[in-house]
Amino acid sequence: MRPLAFAIVLAGCHAATSPDDAAPDVDDLFPVEVAEGLAPTPPMGWNSWNRFACDLDADLIEQTAEAMVSSGMRDAGYSYVNLDDCWQEVDRDESGHVVPASNFPDGIAPVADAIHALDLKLGIYSDRGTATCGGRTGSQGHEVDDANDYAAWGVDYLKYDNCNADTNAVVQQTQYETMSQALAASGRPIVFSLCAWAFHEWSVDAGQLWRVSADIVDGWGSSNFNLVQTRRAAAYAQPNGWNDPDMLEVGNGGMSDVEYRAQFSLWALSAAPLIAGNDLRTMSDETRAILTNEEVIALDQDALGLQGAPVRYDGQASVWAKPLNQSGTRGVILFNESEISLPVTVSWAEIGLRPGKATVRDLWAHKDLGQATDRFTATVQPHEALTLRVVGTEPQIPTGTVSVSELTPTYAANLLGLVERDASNGTDAPGEGAALSVDGTTYERGLGVSAPSRVIYRLGRRCSSFHAVAGMDDGATGTASFEVWGDDERLFQSGPVAASAAQTVDVDVSGKSRLTLLVTSAGDISDADLADWADATLECE
């Protein structure tokens, strides 16, 4: 599996020559450079399916590309114009090659040329089965032929669906990996978007983005369901690998503008691909304003590549946050799913900042809201996602011998609700865990998590070692793998750990600025993957 690192590339920063050279409130890892690769930030573009389904042709695609330019979307970061199903014929030619349908009379290459001339990129669609969901020819048994044809035509992106194919899990994985390998060997860089309708851990190695849910429909319930599925896999997101809750429905008419702004904000904070699905040629000014809000887009395209995660649940209100690529900076959403207005509060400690003063900016009003001390409260309207940029101070660097559960993490993502301190992970609700217990031993201190989980702490190059007992919580029936990272170096990897198989972790973290505790599922994610970092401690100056 591709290493899941919090990869850091220093940009214009220097290492201190002694501990006193680094002030305790300065994080020497900011800013980071954008990573290399096919999708160092989540892809942004447009796809034909949500609005047009099979009613597409070459003129529509070229007109949409022109509208992407004239609307300002290209300048805001959108680059892909993606054909979905029904661009191809039902049958292949005598040589086994896929044939563009009559709605593309000159083929795909001229469409690619027209799109490239606008400084945009072309995406295309196929399926791992014998036929696509729309009944056109699939790629099963023709992966190399199709990948080479896409490369020859100038295609830059492939969405690969899951219809009309063997449902055996091993066959499914093999077919997706076969197309991944064919694209890599085609001689052209082509982003691979896996559409397997659910998260699979092998997707992390196979493509640059992967669907985590069923197809979205243009409604509030569907949007929130797909968001939850994306949240469950948050720990896997990183540059060149993104959880995909499916395409945006903004502007298609099934939700209010408040709800569309919420969807757009939550997709952006979740580091999800921003793939519009409306008619760009006729969209309203309000829809265009949503899709081109560069302050919200910046949350999505942030170079750190972390996926926003909930930090608090209050009934039908929740607080979501993620660190951004500037010291002390967080993207924050106060989200109200209810039908009535609610006051929602975020504390700085919840989003990994030190108590004290921080500045707050509303990214939809494009307005600075001034400074707030320790916390911020706002009244959030029904179905609104109040979207904020908060700039405060990073947590203090630990000193002495300290339990990790006493520290404020910079970031925490977890399958089931919140990471628990000094308790096992229970359910989605916070505080429902029991005492930490691994291989028959009970521990007073540590972290209870549910894989996949990622927790990040500041070290400031002032700590020497990390110690823990890593294992499945007693009573858990799942399996997980434990990893310890110092900056972008993996320092410990357990391999799959089942019940009653605790591992002692003793890791040298000297000279490291960040500690990342990563727990993956060692297979597809499951609510049974309850794991503990028991007696987790740091030795620091």
Query: CB-based burial of residue 285 (10 Å sphere; 0-12 exposed, 13-18 middle, 19+ buried)?
Result: exposed
Name the least confident of 49-58, 301-310, 419-428.
419-428
Verify that 427 and 517 share a domain, yes or no: yes
Domain assignment present for residue 438? The answer is yes
The answer on 322 and 233 residing in a single domain is no
The residue out of 370, 391, 412 marking a domain boundary is 391
On the question of pLDDT at 150 being above 80, the answer is: yes
> How many domains are there within the chain?
3
The CA distance from 296 to 85, in Å, is 30
Tell the residue number behind the tokens 């865990």, with chain if given: 433
- Tell me the average pLDDT across 79-98: 98
Q: Are 153 and 188 in contact (CB under 8 A)?
A: no
**Tokens representing 46?**
């447009």
Closest CA to 384 of 298, 312, 429, 320: 320
Structure tokens at 74: 């290209």
Task: Mark whether 287 and 325 lie in a shared domain.
Answer: no
Would you state the pLDDT for residue 52?
98
Q: With 50 as the cut, is the pLDDT of residue 14 above it?
A: no
**Per-residue pLDDT tens over the stretch 170-185:** 999 999 999 999 999 9
- Residue of 25, 145, 215, 508 marked active site: 215
Is 37 within a domain? no
Q: Which residues span the domain enclosing 467?
A: 19-27+396-540
Q: Do residues 437 and 493 both lie within one domain?
A: yes
Under 8 Å between Cβ of 332 and 351: yes
- pLDDT, position 31: 82
Final residue of a structural domain among 283, 300, 317: 300
Q: Are residues 318 and 201 in the same domain?
A: no
Same domain? 530 vs 411 = yes
> Do residues 103 and 127 both lie within one domain?
yes
**Residue 24: is its pLDDT beyond 70?**
no
What's the mean pLDDT when you consider all of the chain? 93
Using one digit for the tens of pLDDT, what is the confidence trace for 468-505? 999 999 989 899 999 999 999 999 999 999 987 899 99
pLDDT at 537: 98
pLDDT value at 2 more than 70: no
More confident residue, 7 or 56: 56
- Give yes or no for a contact between 427 and 416, defined as CB atoms under 8 angstroms apart: yes
Least confident of 93-102, 434-443, 519-528: 519-528
Q: What is the pLDDT of residue 25?
A: 44
Residue spans of beta strands (DSSP E) within 315-409: 317-323, 329-336, 342-347, 357-362, 367-373, 375-380, 385-391, 401-403
Q: Is residue 107 part of a domain?
A: yes
Q: Name every residue whose Cβ is closer than 8 Å to that of residue 23 and which is 6 or more positions away in sequence.
A: none
User: In the structure encoding, which two tokens stand for residue 42, read together?
Assistant: 């989540």
Reported pTM: 0.95
pLDDT digits (tens, 9 = 90+) for 370-388: 999 999 999 999 999 999 9
Q: Are 225 and 259 in contact (CB under 8 A)?
A: no
In a domain, 112, yes or no: yes
Domain membership flag for residue 12: no
The pair of three-digit structure tokens given for residue 186, joined into one six-digit string: 């085609």
In terms of domains, do 236 and 260 share one? yes
Total number of residues shown for the chain: 541
Q: Find the largest Cα–Cα distance for the chain.
A: 73
- Are 382 and 424 in the same domain? no
CATH of the domain at 313: 2.60.40.1180
Catalytic residue (one of 85, 156, 161, 532) = 161
Whether 10 shows a pLDDT value over 80: the answer reads no
Cα–Cα distance measured from residue 323 to residue 455, given in angstroms and rounded to the nearest whole number: 12
Burial class (CB in 10 A: 0-12, 13-18, 19+), 528: middle
Does residue 8 form part of some domain? no
| 417 shares a domain with 374 | no
Structural contact between residues 23 and 397, judged by C-beta atoms closer than 8 angstroms: no
382 lies in some domain = yes
Do 221 and 73 lie in one domain? The reply is: yes
Q: Is 215 a catalytic residue?
A: yes
User: What share of the chain in percent tops pLDDT 70?
Assistant: 94
Q: Is 156 in the active site? A: no
User: Any idea what the CATH number is for the domain that residue 420 is in?
Assistant: 2.60.120.1060
Averaged pLDDT, 219-225? 97
Residue 35, domain member (yes or no) = no
Amino acid 4: pLDDT: 61
**Cis status of the peptide bond prior to 43, with omega within 30 of 0:** no
Answer whether residue 12 shows pLDDT above 80. no
- What CATH number is attached to the domain comprising 74? 3.20.20.70
Q: What is the pLDDT of residue 29?
A: 62
The residue among 358, 391, 424 that closes a domain is 391
